[in-house]
Every structure is written in C-alpha cells, then in structure tokens.
Amino acid sequence: MSSVPEPSAALLQRAAAVRRAAVDLGQTDDGQRALALQAMADALTDRASTILAANREDLERSAADGLSPALMARLKLDDTKLAAAIDGVRKVASLSDPLGCRQLHRELDQGLVLERVSVPLGVVGVIFEARPDAVMQIASLAIRSGNGALLKGGSEARCTNEAVMDALQAGLAASPVSADALALLTTRQESLALLRLDGLVDLIIPRGSNELVRFIQDNTRIPVLGHADGVCHLYVDAAADIDKAVRVAVDSKSQYPAACNAIETLLVHRSIAQPFLTAALPAFAAAGVQLRGDAASVALGVAEAATEEDWSTEYLDLILAVKLVDDLEAATDHIRSYGSRHTEVILTEDAQAADRFLAAVDSAGVYHNCSSRFADGFRYGFGAEVGISTQTLPPRGPVGLEGLVTYRYRLRGEGHIAADYANGSRVFTHIDRPL
C-alpha cells in the first residue's frame, strides 16, 4: 500500500461525519428514509437547470481534452436522462424496506429465541466512471438501505457531480436524515486515500476497468465489491431463429453501446454462419456497427480483420468482434478464455443446447433468446444499482438494495446460561418459528 497516500485530516473529518450520520440513519424507520428520498428527488427537480448547465461545462471541457465518443456519451446528461434519473430516485423510495427483515426465527430453548435480521453495512465508498446519473443512483440506494456513502466520480464529470451532490444534500437537509450521510470526493488523492479508511468505511465498490478493480483490491484492507469490464458475448447457435437472432444481436450491440452490458464479441456456429451473416451484416451496417472478424467471417463478408486484442476488448462503442465456432463447446471455451463474467447470451431454438450453455458459462448473467442489455438493476426491478458485480461470491450481477445490507443475530433470553447446557440440566429444542 506504499502507493496509497495517508488520508488528510480534512478527509478523516468528513469520513467520520459520514460515519456518525450513518449510525443515526441506520436507526431510522422505513417512512423516514422514503421521505428523505422524495426530498432528494424534489431538490434535484428544483435544481435541474443548474445541473444541466454544469454538465454542459463538463462536456465542453472534455471535448476540448479529446475525451472519446463513448465516454462523452456516458458523460452527457440531458433533460430526458436527468428526468429518468430523478424518477429512479422516486422508484427507489417506493421499494420495500430492506432493513429489519427477519431471515431466521428459531427457539433454541423455551424463552431463548434467536433471530437473524437485515441491517445496513454502515458506510460504502463508491468509485465510479464519468456518469453523473450514477451519483443519483448510488446515493438513493445508500440512503434507502440505511448506509452513508463517500462517492468519487470521474474527473470529467466534476462540475455535474458537485451540482448533483449539492441538490442531494439540500434534499436531505429538508428531511429526517442528516445531509452528512453523503459526501463527494473530488480529487485523485482523496480517492486513493479512501482505500486507507478501514474503520470508517465498510465496503468499497469500484466501477471501472479490471485494472482499477485489481489495484483497489491490492491496496486496501476494506472489502471490495468489484464492478469491472463488460466483455459480453452473444452466441448464435446452429438452431437459432435467424430473424430473431439478428434482432437480438443488433439490440445487444447498438441500443446503447457505451454500456457495460452491450456485447463486444459475436460468436456464430459455422453451420448457420452464411445465412445468419447474410441477414445480419446489412442490419449491423444500418445501425452503424463496425465489424471486425476472424478469417472465416471475413470470407463471408465481414469487412475488417480482427486481431487477438479484439477478443478481450471492451469497446464501449459501435464496434463488434465476430468469430465463427465449430460448436457450443467452442463458444463456451472462448467465453471462458476472454470473458469478464458479466453477461453472456445464447440464441437458439434448441432447449437442450440452451440449458447446456446456461449451466456451462460461469458469468453473473446467462441469457437465452434475449438481449444482453437486460443486465441492469432497473430492468431487474431493483429500482437502480450501485454496480454489476462480476465476482463469484454474492452479491453478484446487478447490485441493488439487497447487496448493501448484511445481517445481525439477535438472541433474547430470560437469564439463560451456557453452563446449564454443558452439564445437561437443560437441552436445546431448536424449533423454527414463522418468520
């Protein structure tokens, strides 16, 4: 951790304030937290013009700095995207309370009753890309789940993030929840020093490249929930319906190419490659998608040859790698070699082939006959997400409220002591009661 600076006194002070606010927040009831989110949404609405003006400033600066078109698309916040983000905050307010849910209710002996109940994590630190709407998503999920949050967005969105955070804190100030429950970090030094705040931060969620996630995992003692690259694949099986396959493949790539759940590689069974590509190539061209293929797909009309690097690249753009494979096993082997365990799709009318694919591919999401773009907390009905976890341990996939809570065992007795059970004068009954 030698490359990670010590936190400044100012950062320690801010983190401690978030921690204190989180303790109080964790004791609020469902109605108070829902009211806080509605107040946050109201404040965002009231300050919409200020937020959009700040975003225009970020866009102008980033364009002058040569930011890529894919990142510019993520950075842009217009009336429609802002309204959708605010609506997302209100939807999170209406979700079921994730706290106080009894998961276990067991009588250990007469008068000695054990419960396992969901509780907040405490304070989460989230480092995310240049997506200003992510500030609203993450903040709403944190408050709804009773957690404080330290947020660090991409420097490209600095002005927008600050305007959004000002609105969120103004909303909290008008609610039963302290505005100190949320804090925005604005410098790279602060984001690095965040990694040393064990004791004040309970979980770090990095949203970015595999390199970023690995760096954070290697340089902190705080648990890390990794949201890394989305090198997603779509496999067109020999038994695919061609019209359906073309429609789903084009949507999976072009509906929003800058998203981490857009496909980056298209795998096609050799036996269906010619009729599929005959139909797909014009559809991809109409959507503005540039294809890069292996030698076999180039022979069937793909315009540009792929390199080895293409198979592991997250383009976040209208670029798609294409490869022909001999069978389903070759497709799953390729996914294991180059995938990021995000989301993989099979298109087939063969139910057994679909089942084999869904069982063989170890990714957070495995889909049959539908777009990869459904890998999203909002589309799953979570209201929003703090990220998509590609790790094997839970939470996995789109992480909503359930990924921001843990549990606590509560044991109520009437003077029971362990010695009575050790000497045999009392015995455990272990009777499960209704939740």
Segment-wise mean pLDDT, segments of 10 residues, the chain, 435 residues: 86 98 98 98 98 98 92 93 95 96 98 98 92 93 98 95 98 98 96 96 87 88 84 98 99 94 98 98 98 98 97 95 98 97 98 98 98 94 85 90 96 98 98 97
What residue ranges of the chain are covered by domains with CATH 3.40.605.10?
A: 9-228+390-407
* First-to-final CA distance of the chain: 45
pLDDT at 391: 85
The torsion defined by the Cα of 415, 421, 425 and 431, in degrees rounded to 10, comes to: 80
CA pair distance 179, 36, nearest whole angstrom: 10
Q: What is the pLDDT of residue 131?
A: 85
Of 137, 98, 135, nearest to 118 by C-alpha is 98
Residue 209: CB atoms within 10 A of its CB come to 13
Question: Which DSSP symbol is given to 430?
Answer: -
Class of domain 232-374: alpha beta
Which residue ranges does the chain devote to CATH 3.40.309.10?
232-374
Q: What is the pLDDT of residue 2?
A: 62
- The listed CATH number (3.40.930.10, 3.40.605.10, 2.70.70.10, 3.40.50.720) that belongs to domain 9-228+390-407: 3.40.605.10
Output the pLDDT for position 228.
65
